[in-house]
Chain A
Amino acid sequence: MTGPDIEPLGDAALVVRSPLAAALLADLTARPLPGVREAVPALNVLTVLYDPLTSGPASLAADLRARLAQLRPKQVEKARTHVLPVTFDGPDLMWCAAHTGRGVPDFIAALCATPLEVAFLGFTPGFAFLTGLPPALQMPRLATPRERVPAGSVALGGPWAGVYPRETPGGWRLVGRTQVTLFDLQRPEPVLWRAGDRVRFEVAGA
């Protein structure tokens, strides 16, 4: 019914796997498809939640395919750059530096020199999956997640970097913390960043 790149996930969602997933999300936001409740991004994946009472998966998949056929990779002109001041004093900082075979100052310098990008938002309100870490700076996740990671923690996990907006459990390696508020309902745009935004860490107070 739907081919290899679009498959059902339960009876009210379709999973679209495409390098154009981010562009498809922007397109669906600008020109909503009837019956689509919301579209949720991940890396090269868009999960489209639909109302089965008004929309059939076969016709919706056909519509999504038609949209994909018209899209080009998302243009970068709207990207903003966020510079996050980070105090590098996390409990895993020394472990991470040793894992890369560097001294701590070298490791911090390498991390701050790395241009990161918001791949997608998810997990908790305001959490961004930041992509762009070179393999040398990628860290294995903890075998057992911490029950409490303090809000503002800057962390590395697998291919990702991230900042915990609030205290939650978490299995990534903590290298530092930032004071920047990532989620605030009082702001016109509660979430600090959008997919596609550029991010750079800098040493706080330096």
Chain B
Amino acid sequence: MLEVVRPGLQTTVQDAGRRARALGVPGGGAADPLALRLANALVGNPPQAPALEVTLAGPTLRFHADALVALWGAPFDAALDGQPFPLGRALPVRAGQTLALGGTRRGARAVLAVRGGLEGQPALGSRATDLRSGFGGMEGRALRAGDHLAWAPLPPAAPPRAFLSPALCTATGPQVTLRVLPTSEATPDLLAALTGQPFTVGGQTDRMGARLTEAVSAPHDPARVSLPNVPGGVQLPPDGRPILLLPDAGTHGGYPTPLVVASADLPVLGQLRAGDRVTFREVTLRQAHAALRQQERDVRQAEAALRRWYAKHTEPYTERT
């Protein structure tokens, strides 16, 4: 069991999300899904195990039982009973100790995984918190001071001594390039306008979307019907300021969507913060798939190495009375 002493700006339970868009339910899940996978791998969890997603200012957590935890994602300051707590490494926390996360200089989010996986309310096949609809995770809301979270038991294991390579960390600002694929709604003029200048991430940025502040000339099409949204869709509302769709975006939208961010760069969206500068770079379908395969090879290599460690270094599980 862990206790929330201070909740941080927005700390939620997230996993790999749900697949119920056909019912109008957003995909949800960790905004930086690679951070979730790798934080889980560090503590020997399955890739989609529920963990804490922390945002901009992290929580302070008191542990009431021994645990093995790992933090991965944006470079948050963290301290365990006042001693620096490094990213990208699994470390034991003893009952009674306090883990305090601070802020981050770049990026927006990190994932704190606990060996065994956090418990959370299941809803439609996932324990991810959907803040807007108010279900999943901790009563469908962000953590509050005084909340208690449990995790599932797993056999104790010696933590790997290795650190994750910084190369596996999702890119963070202040300057980011997003690879994009044009859709049939991208006219040549619109494509030129969207790829010809950097955009600034505005203050209206949350788990549903990141609003950019510079406007392009938007096509006005009141007759456009509502169509299914896809992750990473770049919507263009009538005011011409693009919106990048994040995991909690609504399932359908009526605005033109001239670009879609390449799958390999979706984790980068989860790291955008106000003031970051975003440049869109057009790629082909083939290039986008090649980039995703390369990224997946690197991540799976790290996951496999950590799995091998845990296979060797896990103590046989004995029920304690």
Binding site for B on A (CB under 8 A): 7-13, 15, 25, 37-43, 45, 47, 49, 52-53, 57, 121-127, 129, 166, 183, 185, 190-191
Contacts and interface: CB of A to CB of B under 8 A. Distances in A.
17 contacts: A10-B263, A12-B231, A38-B22, A40-B252, A41-B228, A42-B225, A42-B226, A42-B228, A45-B227, A45-B228, A47-B230, A49-B21, A53-B293, A124-B24, A125-B25, A125-B133, A185-B123
B183 A122 contact: no
Interface residues of B, number: 37
A40 B250 contact: no
B228 A47 contact: yes
Interface string B213-247: 00000000000011110111100000000000000
A47 to B, nearest CB: 4
Contacts, number: 105
A129 B252 CA distance: 11
A122 B124 contact: no
B262 interface: yes
Contacts of A57: 285
A52 B288 CA distance: 9
B236 to A, nearest CB: 15
Contact of B292 (A7, A11, A123, A191): A11
Contacts of B183: 9-10
B184 interface: yes
Contacts of A123: 24, 226, 250-252
Nearest to A122: B252
Interface string B181-218: 10110000000000000000000000000000000000
A147 to B, nearest CB: 13
A129 to B, nearest CB: 7
Nearest to A53: B296
B309 interface: no
A9 B24 contact: no
Given A38-B21, A41-B228, A123-B226, A11 B260 contact: yes
A129 B250 contact: no
Given A9-B260, A10-B260, A11-B285, A125 B23 contact: yes
B24 A126 contact: yes
A190 B23 contact: yes
Nearest to B18: A38
